[in-house]
């Protein structure tokens, strides 16, 4: 009987269907675990790229405000749908209002940031910050921003 089993095992070539299905199932489970981890790394990399640019903007804005003897408490970065910067506004108090806005000269910002136009800066379009960003004095928050407008008649 042992000899028959040994002959059958020696003559066998390849894998059975069950063995192949088990291997495929194991690979599918590994992929299901690895994919969310991978996408998390990618998302954090996009955000880090955008935060690097926002950090440069914050430094430039604070430098310009300090030159005028003012302290920045809030910075609002308004963006287009593609992540390109539409405008940058700085405020000396929180909450940001039109009354406490620090007027920034685009030419000064462009020089400090080393760009030909502030609108040429594009935050990583796949980051959360591409929809806008608010600096609250210590950190950046992602999300669309609303630029305060001066009150009518005032």
**CA of 128: how far to CAs of 75, 79, 99, 105, 107, in Å?**
17, 12, 29, 27, 28
In tens, the pLDDT along 9-48 reads 666 678 899 999 999 999 999 999 999 888 888 888 888 8
pLDDT top residue among 149 and 99: 99
Residue 20 pLDDT:
94
Q: Are residues 91 and 97 in contact, defined by beta-carbon separation less than 8 angstroms?
A: yes
In angstroms, the CA 58 to CA 75 distance is 7
Is pLDDT above 50 for 109?
Answer: yes
Residue 154 pLDDT:
42
Residue 32 has phi, psi (to 5 degrees) of -65, -30
pLDDT top residue among 119 and 55: 55
pLDDT band at 114 (very low <50, low <70, confident <90, very high): confident
* Long-range contacts formed by 62-68: CB under 8 A, 24+ apart: 63/112, 64/90, 64/104, 64/105, 64/108, 64/109, 64/112, 65/90, 65/92, 65/102, 65/104, 68/102
The mean per-residue pLDDT over the stretch 82-110 comes to: 86
In angstroms, the CA 122 to CA 129 distance is 10
Q: Are residues 70 and 92 in contact, defined by beta-carbon separation less than 8 angstroms?
A: yes
Residue 30 pLDDT:
94
Residue 13 pLDDT:
74
Helix (H, G, I), strand (E, B) or coil at 74: strand
The mean per-residue pLDDT over the stretch 124-153 comes to: 80
Residue 25 pLDDT:
97
With vertex at residue 118, the alpha carbon angle to CA 115 and CA 123, rounded to the nearest 5 degrees, is: 95
Query: What pTM, to 2 d.p., does this model score?
Result: 0.69
The mean per-residue pLDDT over the stretch 75-95 comes to: 87
pLDDT top residue among 9 and 80: 80
* Residue ranges per structural domain of the chain: 16-142
Q: What integer best gives the mean pLDDT of the chain?
A: 84
Length of the chain: 154
């Amino acid at each position: 009987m042992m000899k028959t089993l040994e002959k059958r095992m020696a003559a066998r070539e390849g894998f059975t269907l069950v063995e192949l299905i088990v291997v495929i199932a194991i690979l599918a489970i590994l992929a299901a675990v690895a994919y969310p981890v991978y996408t998390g790394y990618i998302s954090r990399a996009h955000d880090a790229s955008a935060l690097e640019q926002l950090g440069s903007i914050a430094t430039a804005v604070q430098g310009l405000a300090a030159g005028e003897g003012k302290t920045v408490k809030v910075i609002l970065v308004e963006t287009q749908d593609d992540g390109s910067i539409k405008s940058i506004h700085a405020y000396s108090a929180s909450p940001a209002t039109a009354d406490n806005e620090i007027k920034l000269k685009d030419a000064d910002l462009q020089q400090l940031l080393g760009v030909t136009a502030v609108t040429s800066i594009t935050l990583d379009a796949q980051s959360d910050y591409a929809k806008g960003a608010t600096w609250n004095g210590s950190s950046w928050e992602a999300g669309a921003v609303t630029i305060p407008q001066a009150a009518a008649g005032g």
